[in-house]
Amino acid sequence: MPDLLRGRTDKSMHGQGYNIGEDVNGSMRFNFACQTISALILATLLLAPLPHVVAGNANWRFGTARVEITPTEPMSMAGYGGRDGPAEGQLTPLWAKALVLQDADGRRVVLVTLDLVGIGRPTMQLVCEQLHQQYDLQREQVALCASHTHTGPALADTLRPLHYFIVDRVLQQRIDDYTGALRDQIVQLVGRALDSMQPGSLSWGNGTATFAVNRRNNSESEVPRLRSDGKLQGPIDHDVPVLAIRDEAGQLKAIVFGYACHATVLSFYQWSGDYPGFAQIELEKAHPDCQAMFWAGCGADQNPLPRRTVEYAKQYGGRLAAAVDRALGSGMKTMPPRLRATYNEIDLPLAELPTREAIEQDTKSDNQYTRARARSLLKQMADHGGLDESYPYPVQTWQIGDDVQWVFLGGEVVVDYALRLKQELRGTNTWVAGYANDVMAYIPSRRVLNEGGYEGGEAMVYYGLPTTWAPAVEEEVVRSVHEQLD
């Protein structure tokens, strides 16, 4: 496998031990002093309150690891169709990071966060199969979350009409090689996180950041004026869920946080984690020896506005990091060591499929992405005798402690899902991630599907699906979440 990833890992810091010397010339005085000191220590402990960080919460175990996944060769970038060449440099490194949590009964879950636009179903399946074989991890125990940065590399199994089918064979091979190497890196990363397990504690809270704007309801050029006038329109989700992991000494070792907004500040030709990358950098500067991990919420119709400059990316990253820090300092709730994980794939129905004649007509389109999708669909029909009428859509939930419900949804999920699930479940105690496990298309709500537009159906061509979703899409997804959590 060509070395297309940097593969640099960060090693954990370990504490130093101390030895107490022995007074060989005055052992009786030494013993008496030890007894006196022990009595004083015991009295102090009996009078002092137990430390907050471990009270009722000493049976968690956790492990962390990271690896740099910045490409080392010129490659196509993911997220925008307007780019006409590979990346030309690096603004910030790209990372894959892993966190393992284990409760008092030995149940484990593994979170992997990736500075990528998303991964596809083949990558999800191959990674989870290897994790099962090597570490006996079941499918529900593993969640793979992308930040959806639009300044990361293209992969071989997502957005193929947009990035893969339209480039030459040299760039296709680099995408193939990078994708294969990435899968191996993720498996090895989880193994290192498992090897680093130690006792610790968990706590959770919520912050707020307000730079996300509903892009369907607000013209980008008008956003500064609309914001200053208090007239921004459309649904939004400005919550910043925060999970804090500390070791036995109370030191912060990992921060996991989310936000519902596209990572689309930057659109140039340099590798970057965009604003989520800058948020993680700021948090790790503020909290040395701590691993910061970002997951994208239901931000498919949310943009960081205004945008297009590095200064804005840094500003939004700083604001998000500040929201996390405020949550860390505002009375987070400790979590008892209990885990429950579930996973299911539902047959998410597509609308009426196009005819062969319509697909063949699309091969003559003036739009190169429409042509690319049409050729791909004709190959599917030849290989499988037709097109699938549904998609195996992943729905995953974790329950952490007594309070937090964590929902992982595949695809680019619009904000309506988070708002609805929070209302129907536990409010800010319910965390809803999009871009998880398999990013196969936009996932519109019934409202957005009826309204149409880019998120409502036009974007399906870039993912290679043959048509829009059926009207039942929202109810099917929400019902699956309720079945897992109720």
The helix/strand/coil state of 384 is helix
246 compared with 1, residue with greater pLDDT: 246
Coil, strand or helix: which one is 104?
A: coil
* Helix H or strand E segment including 442: strand 442-443
Structural domain boundaries of the chain?
Answer: 60-341+392-458, 354-388
Please check whether residue 353 is in contact with residue 388, taking contact to mean a CB–CB distance below 8 angstroms.
no
At 315 the pLDDT is 98
Q: Residue 82: its pLDDT value, please?
A: 87
Phi, psi of 357 (to 5 degrees): -60, -40
Q: Look up residue 302 and give its two tokens.
A: 């949310």
Taking only the tens place, the pLDDT of each residue in 265-282 is 999 999 999 999 999 999
Indicate the burial class of 346 (C-beta count within 10 angstroms; 0-12, 13-18, 19 or more).
middle
Confidence check: pLDDT of 68 > 60: yes
Going by C-alpha positions, the residue among 447, 467, 451 that lies closest to residue 459 is 467
The pLDDT tens digits of the residues spanning 97-123 come to 999 999 999 999 999 999 999 999 999
Query: What residues contact residue 272 under an 8 Å CB cut-off, 6+ apart?
Result: 90, 91, 92, 94, 149, 151, 152, 266, 313
Q: Is 182 exposed, middle or buried (0-12, 13-18, 19+ CB in 10 A)?
A: buried
Q: What is the DSSP string of 259-319?
A: E-S-B-S--SSEE--HHHHHHHHHHHHHSTT-EEEEEEBS-TTEEESS-SSHHHHHHHHHH
Of 220, 238, 79, 48, nearest to 153 (Cα)? 79
The pLDDT tens digits for 402-441 are 999 999 999 999 999 999 999 999 999 999 999 999 999 9
Whether 17 has a pLDDT exceeding 70, the answer reads no
What's the angle, vertex CA 179, arms to CA 175 and CA 183, rounded to 5?
170
Give the CA angle between residues 234, 240, 245 to the nearest 5°. 165
CA distance 51 to 49: 6
pLDDT at residue 49 tops 50: no
DSSP string, 190-258: HHHHHHT-EEEEEEEEEEE---EEETTTS-GGGHHHHHHTT---S----EEEEEEEEETT--EEEEEEE
- Number of residues that this document lists for the chain: 486
Mean pLDDT of 143-153: 98
> Within its chain, how far is the Cα of 23 from the centroid?
56
Do 199 and 60 form a contact (C-beta atoms < 8 A)? yes
- Categorize the per-residue pLDDT at 21 as very low, low, confident or very high, splitting at 50, 70 and 90: very low
Q: Is the pLDDT of residue 12 over 60?
A: no
pLDDT band at 486 (very low <50, low <70, confident <90, very high): confident
Residue-wise DSSP of 386-401: S--SEEEEEEEEEEET
Q: Count other Cβ atoms within 10 Å, centred on residue 437.
A: 32
Q: Is the pLDDT of residue 38 over 60?
A: no
